[in-house]
Amino acid sequence: MQKKPAPNMIHSASVFSLDNPYYIHKSVLSETFELHRHDFFEIDIMISGEGVSCINGENYKLSEGDIVFLSPSDHHNYILGENQRLEFMNIAFSLGLLSPQAMSVMSSDTKVVHLTGKDYECVKKLCEFLVEKYDSNPAECALMMKTSIEWLFVFLSFITEQHQKNSNSMSNFSKVLLYINDHFSEEDLSRATVASIMYMSPTHFSKKFHKLVGIPFQDYLLNTRLNYANGMLKMTNMTVSQVAHLSGFGSDSYFSKVFKKRFGVTPGKVRKTDK
């Protein structure tokens, strides 16, 4: 079996100057950036555009307000479709730059956090300030730069902690249930797709969903589809095949099988009884 190629390694020596243990700049991507990792830490603050970041094999949809946290152990890339672009501010730094409190955000399992409102505007303005000062003369304001970066990471550490707490609450899962109710008719709706809107791995998402909702994700999705199909059979003149398709089932035979198991009769019998 042929081995997959190892991610390219980017070394700090090619990024940092001799005077600074950090690098700050604004980037614009208009095409996919290859899989890589590096021997330094990095955060990317999304300013505009859309794309996907694959981090350690998990895909995260990105847009304005998303913050991406990357450590030396993370292999990652940016995937852009046709006519897509991503604009973001990047802060890369070595291990010794920040205090342990500030560095706690980088040791978290959370890889992407979405900021909105004042939180996002605050982070964005500070990063714009840091980019401006770095591009002018970072040596003249080194202490101010280091202090500002330290504050930024302490703030992001607090935001990330709140994000993790919210991920455990049913109120945060309400958007998942709404998403399922809006998209259950799509045959390819999957656990991985829904997990991505929660910035979770599919495995972690499944555990949280079962714990908070009370049944597994696949059972919830199936029940939603079957309840909708049952109503359509009773209230419309659509064929069983049409109802199966509109309810998210790709196979008529599978639809009939699970429908009978759930309601005790076949879809065709419901249609005849209704008439």
Domain assignment present for residue 232? The answer is yes
What per-residue confidence (pLDDT) applies to 2? 42
Does 242 share its domain with 150? no
Number of domains, the chain: 2
Residue that finishes a domain, picked among 143, 167, 191? 167
- Shared domain for 85 and 182, answered yes or no, is no
Q: 182 and 135 in one domain?
A: no
What is the pLDDT, as a whole number, of residue 225? 92
pLDDT at 125: 92
Residue 3 lies in a domain: no
Same domain, 178 and 148: no
One domain, residues 179 and 161: no
74, 159: one domain? yes
- Encode the chain in three state secondary structure: CCCCCCCEEECHHHCCCCCCCEEEEEEEECCCEEEEEECCEEEEEEEEECEEEEECCEEEEECCCEEEEECCCCCEEEECCCCCCEEEEEEEECHHHCCHHHHHHHHCCCCEEECCHHHHHHHHHHHHHHHHHHHHCHHHHHHHHHHHHHHHHHHHHHHHHHHHHHHCCHHHHHHHHHHHHHHCCCCCCCHHHHHHCCCCCHHHHHHHHHHHHCCCHHHHHHHHHHHHHHHHHHHCCCCHHHHHHHCCCCCHHHHHHHHHHHHCCCHHHHHHHHC
How far from 151 is each of 103, 139, 158, CA to CA, in Å? 11, 19, 11
CATH code, 22: 2.60.120.280
**Are 222 and 267 in a shared domain?**
yes
Q: Is residue 117 part of a domain?
A: yes
Any domain includes 1: no
- Between the CA atoms of 186, 187, 190 and 193, what dihedral angle is there, to the nearest 10 degrees? -40
pLDDT at 7: 60
Q: State how beta strands 8-10 and 33-38 pair.
A: parallel
Q: What pLDDT is attached to residue 27?
A: 92
Residues 201 and 72 in one domain: no
Domain that holds residue 185: 173-274
Give yes or no: residues 210 and 224 share one domain.
Answer: yes
Q: Considering the domain boundaries, does residue 13 fall inside one?
A: yes
Based on the domain organization, do 54 and 131 belong to the same domain?
yes
- For residue 135, being part of any structural domain is answered with yes
- Show pLDDT as tens, one digit a residue, over the chain (275 residues): 344 445 678 877 777 776 677 889 999 999 998 888 888 889 999 999 999 999 988 889 999 999 999 988 888 999 998 889 999 999 998 877 777 767 777 766 778 888 888 889 999 999 999 998 888 876 677 778 888 888 888 888 877 776 665 555 555 566 788 788 888 999 999 999 888 877 778 888 898 888 877 889 999 899 889 988 988 888 888 899 999 999 999 999 999 999 999 889 999 888 765 54
| pLDDT value of position 272 | 60
Q: How far is CA 114 from CA 7, 56, 63, 80, 122, in A?
A: 26, 19, 9, 19, 13
| 2: in domain | no
What pLDDT, on a 0 to 100 scale, did the predictor assign at position 241?
A: 94
Residue 214 sits in a domain whose CATH number is 1.10.10.60
Q: Both 180 and 252 in a single domain?
A: yes
Between CA 38 and CA 26 the distance in angstroms is: 18
In one-letter notation, the amino acid at residue 269 is K
Instruction: State residue 47's pLDDT score.
Output: 96
Residue 111 confidence (pLDDT): 87
- Alpha-carbon span 55 to 71, nearest angstrom: 10
Q: 20 with 110, same domain?
A: yes
- Considering 119, 151, 167, which residue would you say is the last residue of a domain? 167
Residue 230 lies in a domain: yes
Last residue of a domain, one of 167, 185, 208: 167
pLDDT computed for residue 247 by the predictor: 93
